[in-house]
Amino acid sequence: MKQSINILISGGGTGGHIYPAIAIANELRARYPEANFLFVGAKDKMEMEKVPQAGYEIKGLWISGIQRKLTLKNLMFPIKLLDSLIKAGRIIRKFKPDVAIGTGGFASGPTLMAAHRKKIPTLIQEQNSFPGITNKHLGKKANVVCVAYDNLERFFPSNKLVKTGNPVRASLLSIHVKEKIEKARELFDLKKKRKTILILGGSLGARKINELIEENLPFFKEQKVQLIWQCGKLYYDQYKKHDEKKNVHVHAFINQMDLAYAAADIIISRAGASSVSELCIVGKPTIFIPSPNVAEDHQTKNAKAISDKHAAILLRENELETFPILFETLIKDEGKQESLSENIKELALPNATNQIVNQVEKLLGL
């Protein structure tokens, strides 16, 4: 093999794009320790912090998405796109990648477009059951499109599609180990005899979920459950006061997600693609509350793909008043919890990262 393989990876904006990109890089680095890696992200987005923390170099582009309504930001979009295409072209000329990988997010568009112009092989990793505009456009020219759901021939050329699943953190594969569960109870200061509810609103937080949890704190107390509540860094100052309550543990962000999953009996979560893939592997009873405010309402489509198979409960934001009844029914029905758990485990694709990297190897001729 060529000793200095150069691998360019672009993905960001949210943890749902960043963590799959890092997982792919980690597997490639494990197979090819001599390879060189460079990430490309959007300036001022969380990848500029998370990628260096994972041990990789990153360059930032001046790029952001299109807003749904007419704003000054929208008028700036063509200028930002042109600037990003020029800068991505410069990065590619200097780094000379042998392959370019995109996991979604604003920066992956100009980066993979510039790579394609230079005739560099490209691979897209599409996490959602309904792709965003960027990946739909990139998929026409990409060499390979790795997906996590069936029936994506509507959006991508069928000869390029490979169903791999979404990369997840390797640490999640061992969450059912007894020692990990005990370590989780200790870390989060949990009582052994109480059921634990894990609430996840994504890395930044989810306003509607946070409001729902706060409103139902007396109800949770009646149900004799304890909460690990990840409210998001945007909302932590507003909700940290509840951390003083017994059986309520409020976090801006949870770094040791494997331990949070290990501790949980029931999970309440948004339905971003990475979260859904992780929760299939975790295999705990889950209530999905998808965000309706994302492109093409893809979170609802992700959650529906799971709930249609009786593997999770889908609760839409406009139905939140039914939450107490739904939750109480679930917490009292051990059989329902067990069937949700078994059904969601059947949808897991735990070898996704390996399979994606196998496709990268084919593009590299290795």
Q: What ranges make up the beta strands (E) of 119-265?
A: 122-126, 144-147, 161-163, 195-200, 225-230, 248-251
Q: Is 91 annotated as a binding residue?
A: no
Identify whether the C-beta of residue 10 lies closer than 8 Å to the C-beta of residue 108.
yes
Q: Is 203 annotated as a binding residue?
A: yes
Identify whether the C-beta of residue 80 lies closer than 8 Å to the C-beta of residue 64.
yes
Q: Is 104 annotated as a binding residue?
A: no
Q: Is 254 annotated as a binding residue?
A: yes
CA 344/CA 312 separation, integer angstroms: 7
- As separate numbers, helices (DSSP H) first and strands (DSSP E) second, the chain gives 15, 13
Q: Is 299 annotated as a binding residue?
A: yes
In the chain, % helix, strand, coil (3-state, to 5) comes to 50, 15, 35
Q: Is 277 annotated as a binding residue?
A: no
Q: Is 16 annotated as a binding residue?
A: yes
CA nearest neighbour of 142 among 129, 155, 128: 155
CA 295/CA 16 separation, integer angstroms: 14
Q: Is 127 annotated as a binding residue?
A: no
Binding residues: 14-16, 128, 169, 203, 254, 299
Binding residues for UDP-N-acetyl-alpha-D-glucosamine: 14-16, 128, 169, 203, 254, 299
